[in-house]
């Protein structure tokens, strides 16, 4: 809680109580509240101690199988050129790597990398990264783009998902509602096609297909948020299950069974299901994008499945 030096102890206690009442209705229930002042330094040591404890207990998990950086800022640096920034979701980026700006497919290479204002030759997942791109005009990149290694992820215009509606919604989410879809730093308009019901009531979850008005870069397992078109308020969110772009029919048992395997099946189950529906097989990169990241139980099977 910032600017703690501007109020007295009684007022700070009142505001802390109000904040606690608000966040205890969210996923942050029970989270510590630290009064902080950048002027006096109050709370800094306590905040750093809490962050260190959280980091020590935190288990890292891969966010997909591909190297991906969601672009959240673009600017021009004199003497260098166009720079894009973001938090690297997975993998590593190195100076000289051939990369592409998606979804437009603009091929380029990495001229230089910075992490926290320090020049580096390599950036790893979880780091905030500034990437200087070779021969890319400022107008060719924008917030919401994705920086990926060449010839890896293909952009898609629809995704099959497990969609959760917020419990506090005033009314259900109807079939074919127009929404704002958020993944990474991108915001794309789309429609919610409910596959197993006529409407999604507050607090419920179900299978849906999000049909987008522009392309995005997505993998199975990605988390997303949807908001209403206008006025804007958060409706819910969920997890991407399938990025194949397959046409789905509402209430069709075969399609719902496919999504069930995509959601809960082991890596072996998903590979068998995918290849069984492919008329002439799949390229390795296509299959990898469809399968998404492995879970703990999958990792022991990776070698067998690859053979």
DSSP code, position 175: T
Superfamily for domain range 68-149 = Translation factors (2.40.30.10)
CA distance 150 to 133: 14
What is the chain's Cα-based Rg? 22
Q: Where are the chain's structural domains?
A: 4-57, 68-149, 156-260, 265-307
Mean pLDDT to the nearest integer, 217-245: 94
Report how many helices (DSSP H) and strands (DSSP E) the chain contains, helices first. Answer: 7, 18
Inform me whether the pLDDT recorded for 148 exceeds 90.
yes
Check for a shared fold between 68-149 and 156-260. yes
pLDDT tens sequence across 113-137:
999 999 999 999 999 999 999 999 9
Contacts of 153 (CB under 8 A, 6+ apart): 66, 68, 102, 146, 217, 219, 289
User: What does the block give as tokens for 26?
Assistant: 């969210």
pLDDT tens sequence across 163-220:
999 999 999 999 999 999 999 999 999 999 999 999 999 999 999 999 999 999 999 8
pLDDT of the residue at 63: 67
pLDDT tens sequence across 36-86:
999 999 999 999 999 999 888 877 666 667 899 999 999 998 888 999 999
233: region left, alpha or beta (phi > 0 left; psi from -120 to 50 alpha): beta
CATH number belonging to the domain at 156-260, selected among 1.10.3720.10, 3.40.50.2300, 3.30.930.10, 2.40.30.10: 2.40.30.10
CA distance 96 to 122: 10
Go through 240-264 and write b for each residue having 16 or more CB atoms within 10 A of its CB, e for each that does not.
bbbbbeeebebeeeebbebbebbbe
């Amino acid at each position: 809680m910032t600017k703690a030096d501007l109020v007295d102890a009684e007022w700070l206690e009142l505001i802390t109580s109000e904040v606690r009442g608000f966040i205890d209705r969210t996923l942050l229930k029970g989270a510590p509240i630290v009064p902080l002042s950048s002027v006096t330094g109050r709370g800094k040591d306590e905040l750093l101690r809490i962050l260190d404890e959280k980091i020590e207990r935190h288990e890292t998990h891969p966010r997909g199988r591909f190297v991906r950086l969601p672009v959240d800022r673009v600017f021009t640096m004199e003497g260098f050129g166009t720079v894009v920034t973001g938090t690297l979701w997975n993998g590593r980026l190195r100076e000289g790597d051939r990369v592409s700006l998606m979804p437009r497919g603009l091929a380029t290479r990495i001229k230089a990398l910075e992490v926290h204002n320090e020049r580096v030759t390599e950036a790893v997942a979880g780091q905030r990264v500034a990437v200087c791109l070779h021969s890319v005009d400022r107008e060719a990149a924008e917030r919401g783009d994705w920086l990926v290694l060449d010839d890896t992820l293909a952009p898609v215009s629809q995704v099959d998902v497990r969609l959760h509606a917020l419990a506090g919604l005033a009314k259900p989410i109807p079939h074919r509602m127009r929404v704002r879809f958020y993944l990474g730093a991108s915001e794309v308009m789309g429609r919610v096609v409910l596959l197993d019901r006529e409407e999604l009531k507050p607090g419920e979850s179900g299978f849906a297909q999000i049909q987008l008005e522009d392309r995005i870069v997505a993998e199975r397992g990605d988390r997303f948020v949807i908001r209403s078109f206008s006025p804007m308020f958060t409706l819910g969110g969920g997890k991407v299950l399938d990025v194949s772009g397959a046409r789905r029919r509402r209430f069709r048992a075969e399609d719902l069974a496919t999504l069930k395997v995509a959601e809960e099946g082991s890596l072996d189950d998903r590979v068998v299901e995918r290849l069984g529906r492919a008329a002439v097989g799949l390229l390795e990169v296509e299959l990898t994008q469809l399968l998404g990241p492995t879970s703990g139980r999958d990792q022991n099977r990776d070698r067998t499945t690859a053979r």
